């Protein structure tokens, strides 16, 4: 007399066999409950930047070098360009060089506002920097928006690194949120009244050099973490 096999057990056995074959052919990864929970956490750039903002401002302020010192080390040609080879030693001494080969400078400066341009949301002021009389023009972001690819403050911290994030999108969101913080701190600044006035500021700017032998240095754009009228 043959023993009967219940249909449910037969199906279960079949599923196990199929899973075993799939595992052998393709492999599998066991994910713990804790790891699974970590993977489902949604990154919040607002909270990240809010928690880091004091440290961001402090590291920029404490490591800032005079903007005039940086500009006086850069010698543009007649077209306003300088070689990457000539710029690299300046960045090594006075700034930072990112993994993407951008030269980032944490700077402070005093000077006189030459003009105010708020015709677009990406408003800027021109700055005649004390101690510098060369051809490089300096503009400082003060508008209601900073360009989406501007990451000078994030990169100038030295402690916010791409490897700390799961993807490029998160890294980019941090830069965007930092820029929002910068502009929020300038809301009380009466921008339109600054023309012709002396100011003091601290911030950062970037020269992008990746795969480029000649860099346009005729004009630099600075992102401020603070602007004050002395």
Regions of the chain short of the pLDDT cut 50: 1-3, 5, 9-12, 15-16, 18-20, 22-24, 26-29, 31, 37, 39
What DSSP state is assigned to residue 163? G
How many percent of the chain have pLDDT more than 70?
83
CB 123 within 8 A of CB 199: no
**Residue 135 backbone phi and psi in degrees, to 5:** -85, -10
Taking the alpha carbons at both ends of the chain, their separation in whole angstroms is 103
For the chain, the structural domain boundaries read 43-228
pLDDT of residue 41: 73
Nearest partner of 69 among 97, 109, 104, 96, judged by Cα: 109
127: which strand partners?
Answer: 113, 138
pTM, rounded to two decimals: 0.81
pLDDT of residue 40: 55
User: Is residue 193 classed exposed, middle or buried when 0-12, 13-18 and 19+ CB atoms within 10 A define those classes?
Assistant: exposed
pLDDT of residue 31: 47
pLDDT of residue 219: 97
pLDDT of residue 22: 44
Nearest partner of 197 among 128, 147, 148, judged by Cα: 128
């Amino acid at each position: 007399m043959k023993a009967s096999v219940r249909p449910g057990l037969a199906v279960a056995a079949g599923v196990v066999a199929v899973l075993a074959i799939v595992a052998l052919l393709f492999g599998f990864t066991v994910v713990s409950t804790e790891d699974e929970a970590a993977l489902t956490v949604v990154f919040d750039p607002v909270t990240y930047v809010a928690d880091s903002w004091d440290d961001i401002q402090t590291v920029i302020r404490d490591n800032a070098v005079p903007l005039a010192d940086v500009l006086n080390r850069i010698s543009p040609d007649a077209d306003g360009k300088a070689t990457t080879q000539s710029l690299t030693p300046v960045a090594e001494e006075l700034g930072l060089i990112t993994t993407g080969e951008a030269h980032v400078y944490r700077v402070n400066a005093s000077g006189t506002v030459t003009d105010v341009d708020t015709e677009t949301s990406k408003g800027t002021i021109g700055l005649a920097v004390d101690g510098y009389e060369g051809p490089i023009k300096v503009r400082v972001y003060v508008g209601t928006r900073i360009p989406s690819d501007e990451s000078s403050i994030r990169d100038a911290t030295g402690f916010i690194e791409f490897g700390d994030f799961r993807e490029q999108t998160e890294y980019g969101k941090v830069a965007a949120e930092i820029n929002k913080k910068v502009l929020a701190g300038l809301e009380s600044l009466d921008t339109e009244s600054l023309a012709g006035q002396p100011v003091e500021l601290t911030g950062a700017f970037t020269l992008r050099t990746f795969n480029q032998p000649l860099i346009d240095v005729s004009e630099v754009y600075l992102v401020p973490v603070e602007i004050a009228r002395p």
